[in-house]
């Protein structure tokens, strides 16, 4: 399996995914919004918004092991 990198993160921008972290935890059902550089040009961060929440949050790309794209047909996004 390919590790999560800047190039693979770009392919998920604008999509709903589950983020699987390297420590074994999972951040479920988030909408990836943007990629930004860290302070002083160190590291890259993925900005995401959790489902039914308006707060923008970010996590380092180095902490993410892989992303699983969700099927929007199985979820109710209208409510």
According to DSSP, residue 14 is labeled: T
Question: pLDDT tens digits, residue range 34-74?
Answer: 999 888 777 899 999 998 888 999 999 999 999 999 877 76
Instruction: Give the predicted TM-score (pTM) of the model.
Output: 0.83
13-28 average pLDDT score: 94
Tokens of 29: 């059902």
For residue 20, the SS3 value is strand
What beta strand segments (E) does 1-79 contain? 16-21, 26-37, 44-50, 57-60, 64-69
CATH for 6-74? 2.30.30.100
In degrees rounded to 5, what are phi and psi of residue 76? Answer: -100, 95
For residue 56, the SS3 value is coil
């Amino acid at each position: 399996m390919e590790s999560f990198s800047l190039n693979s993160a770009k392919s998920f921008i604008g999509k709903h995914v589950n983020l699987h972290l390297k420590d074994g935890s999972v951040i479920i059902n988030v909408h990836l919004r943007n990629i930004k550089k860290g302070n002083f040009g160190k590291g890259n961060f993925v900005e995401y918004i959790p489902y039914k929440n308006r707060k923008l949050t970010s996590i380092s790309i180095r902490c993410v092991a892989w992303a699983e794209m969700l099927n929007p047909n199985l979820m109710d996004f209208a409510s």
